[in-house]
Amino acid sequence: MRNKKVLVMCTGNSCRSIIGEALINAKLDGVEAYSCGVAPSGKVNLNAKKVLEENGIWSDDYYSKHLDEVIDIEFDLVVTVCDHAHDTCPMFPRPTDKIHVSFEDPDGKDYEAFIDIYKEIEKVLLSKVTDALS
């Protein structure tokens, strides 16, 4: 894969989509990931940041943002990672392939839940994105 752009969307853009963005950027060569929320919280969950730091893939470039900030980027794939984002996923300026892979929201749970969701996103999302871009 070369020069593919993927958008990972959820509701708050504080946990799952940030973790997905970081994992895609770290593990999939030739794929550039972004993330956003349909109703962004405005902050990255501290446990999500911690799990990314512990795995060596945190970047200060990751922050909670609204879809409006990335809508003009020509994405090859949009991935919704929560049911609310899937149900409210907007139309993009040009036709864009979309997939939905729902993950449980770890927000408000203990740190172990973030480790678990990191592992699940790494295992499930990366292969689904790779398949969708092939």
Backbone dihedral region for residue 30 (phi beyond 0: left; psi -120 to 50: alpha; all else: beta): left
Q: Beta partners for 53?
A: none
What is the pLDDT of the chain when averaged over all its residues? 92
Predicted pLDDT of residue 70 = 93
Predicted pLDDT of residue 86 = 65
Q: Which residues belong to the active site? A: 10, 82, 89
Alpha-carbon span 118 to 126, nearest angstrom: 11
| pLDDT (tens digit per residue) in 49-106 | 999 999 999 999 999 999 899 988 999 999 999 877 667 666 666 788 999 999 999 9
Alpha helices in 1-82 (DSSP H): 16-27, 46-54
Q: Which domains does the chain have, with CATH numbers?
A: 4-127 (3.40.50.2300)
